[in-house]
Amino acid sequence: MKPETLKSEPILGIDLGTTNSLVGVVDSGFPILLADETGSRSTPSVVGLAEDGKISVGAVALRQRALHPTRTITSVKRLIGRRPGEAGWTPPYSLSDLKTSPVEVSAEILKHLKAVAERALEQPVSRAVITVPAYFNDAQRNATRRAGELARLEVLRILSEPTAAALAYGLDKLGEHQKVAVFDLGGGTFDISVLEMREGTFQVLSTAGDTQLGGDDIDRLLAEFISDRLKLPPNDIRVLEGAESVKKRLSNDETASFHGLHITRAELERIARPWIERTRLHCLRALSDAGLKPEQLDEVILVGGSTRMPLVRDYVRELFQREPNTSQNPDEAIALGATIQAGILGGSLRQVLLLDVTPLSLGIETFGGLMNIIIPRNTTIPAKAGEMFTNAVANQDNMLIRILQGERELAKDNWELGRIEVPFPAGPKGSARVGVQFSLDANGILNVLARDTATNTDSTLEISGTAIDVEDERVEQMIAESVDFAFEDMNERIWTEAKLKAEELLPAVDAALAQLGESTEVRECAAEVRRLLDSPEHNAAALKAANQKLDDATQSLAVMLIERAMEESLVRRGLV
């Protein structure tokens, strides 16, 4: 079997809705929704069970609803995973009389969607991501999963509807802790969810809603209005369907007519307003459960076919005091999000998030006030790097690590992001071993781990946001300064390093001279180092050269020291 001839099987993204269901797939890197043979990308979530055992799904089943109301199953999502009576809704049919179950009916819808996809893709499919409302409990989620399996679909993930919607709106690119309200008004249900972006995924902070509130209610009220004017029997399914069609047209047009009756958008809005206003309490509740005020939200997105109504958009704008995001088709957003999730799972979509780079270098301050870079600027995240450090002076029992961001050579010219202290047992200079590791995750959260390897004690610090989110202007300014001061900075760095070296050499030289007697050459070299150290000039190159000379001169001193030590030991042992 040649691997290149194996066309990888796509994973379906499915919105199994109360009123409508949709299916999509990622094709050549793009999420697309699939149309059935009539060209429709949306299938009514309706199943007809004829007396002869024939099963119809979608538009076909919906058309027979008027004829066979007790054999036409609608809104089965309200019943799935619930015990009888628990849904608080009495359907116009009896599933037990029909000898079926919500799982079996949902499986019929899923089988239909699978067939739509297989026909469009001209290949078999066996895996899917299916969305459910955020408030669905384990029983409802498991029942949905079983429906998938019954339809011969391996359910790779059960995804929350608001999360799917947020993915479709591209909000996964939002920064850490950004908050989104998802306002979903469908055919029969209203859901409001507040999400927060945490570590690259959406967390549902709160959900609220009304399982008995949606576009169907508006259709019913408008049907009453129409049948009243036209003296038609109310509850007639044809009037109801006519009302829905009028309602949809009034989302675009100012007037629409039904059997010669002209209906204006203002009339519809007068009828619909009290129902739309019912969403208010749920929205306030969800906000208060999430501990947020409307102004603390970063986005409000609209989902569900009923949010196409201008009245709903106006109402949401007023309620949340902001312009809702309407950049996606509200009735397709959940399916699109499920498809994107399926694409990510299947590896055919990459999360763009991972391509972020560090705008500025990250490092720590080392002895003498220098910047020691651990993760250079423009490193692709996630990234991980570390280094070992030791104590610069004897008897030190802790190390203060200042975490810095910036391009300057000296610590003081960079920005401090945080600091941690690492304790370790006191000992001679150079005896401590402290490993410092920076790991920057895909969201730009920097975790600093400092470990004393002698005792294996860890000190950690989490820095969120600032490592990646730096205003462009500040980044530009930092880089410009690092270029402007490049010469001075480099001189300062060499100076500091030379100064540290001199401060280490001089006491050692003094001790050696005291032990071994004078050496004019060494004395002169040491004096030159001292003069340069005290000079306000900070001549880095000269100090470096003087250090080298002193070091060379003491080489002979060191040889003498060793000879003297050997001699002494021989004397002690009585060999001389």
Interacting residue ranges for ligand ADP, rule: CB under 6 A = 17-20, 186-189, 214-216, 244, 247-248, 251, 304-306, 308-309, 331
Active-site choice (161, 196, 332, 365):
161
**What is d(CA 298, CA 192) in angstroms, rounded to the nearest whole number?**
15
When CB distances are held under 5 to 8 angstroms depending on the partner's kind, the choice from ligand ADP, Mg ion, none that residue 216 binds is ligand ADP
Name which of 45 and 361 has its Cβ closer to ligand ADP: 45
User: What is the nearest approach in angstroms of ligand ADP to the Cβ of residue 333?
Assistant: 9
Question: Residue 96: how many CA atoms within 13 Å on its side-chain side?
Answer: 3
**Residue type at 106?**
S
When CB distances are held under 5 to 8 angstroms depending on the partner's kind, the choice from ligand ADP, Mg ion, none that residue 48 binds is none
When CB distances are held under 5 to 8 angstroms depending on the partner's kind, the choice from Mg ion, ligand ADP, none that residue 309 binds is ligand ADP
User: What is the nearest approach in angstroms of ligand ADP to the Cβ of residue 14?
Assistant: 12
Composition of the chain by helix, strand, coil, percent to 5:
40, 25, 35
When CB distances are held under 5 to 8 angstroms depending on the partner's kind, the choice from ligand ADP, Mg ion, none that residue 207 binds is none
C-alpha 165, offset from chain centre: 14
- The DSSP secondary-structure symbol of 121 reads H
Please say if 184 is a catalytic residue: yes
Assess whether the previous peptide bond of 124 is cis (omega < 30° from 0).
no
Please say if 241 is a catalytic residue: no
Name which of 189 and 391 has its Cβ closer to ligand ADP: 189
Phi and psi, residue 47, nearest 5°: -125, 130
Name which of 14 and 529 has its Cβ closer to Mg ion: 14
Name which of 10 and 17 has its Cβ closer to ligand ADP: 17
Please say if 210 is a catalytic residue: no
User: What is the nearest approach in angstroms of ligand ADP to the Cβ of residue 306?
Assistant: 4
Residues engaged in binding Mg ion (CB under 5 A) = 17, 186
Please say if 15 is a catalytic residue: yes
User: What is the nearest approach in angstroms of Mg ion to the Cβ of residue 19?
Assistant: 7
Q: State both tokens at 542.
A: 């000269």
Let me know: does 238 contact 66? Beta carbons within 8 Å.
Answer: yes
Residue partners of 76: CB distance under 8 A and separation at least 6: 45, 47, 102, 105, 106, 109
Let me know: does 339 contact 25? Beta carbons within 8 Å.
Answer: yes
User: What is the nearest approach in angstroms of Mg ion to the Cβ of residue 65?
Assistant: 20
Name which of 43 and 348 has its Cβ closer to ligand ADP: 43
**What is d(CA 453, CA 429) in angstroms, rounded to the nearest whole number?**
16
Residue 509 burial (CB count, 10 A)? 20
When CB distances are held under 5 to 8 angstroms depending on the partner's kind, the choice from ligand ADP, Mg ion, none that residue 308 binds is ligand ADP
Active-site choice (15, 108, 413, 441):
15
Residue partners of 545: CB distance under 8 A and separation at least 6: none
When CB distances are held under 5 to 8 angstroms depending on the partner's kind, the choice from ligand ADP, Mg ion, none that residue 71 binds is none
Enzyme catalytic residues: 15, 77, 161, 184
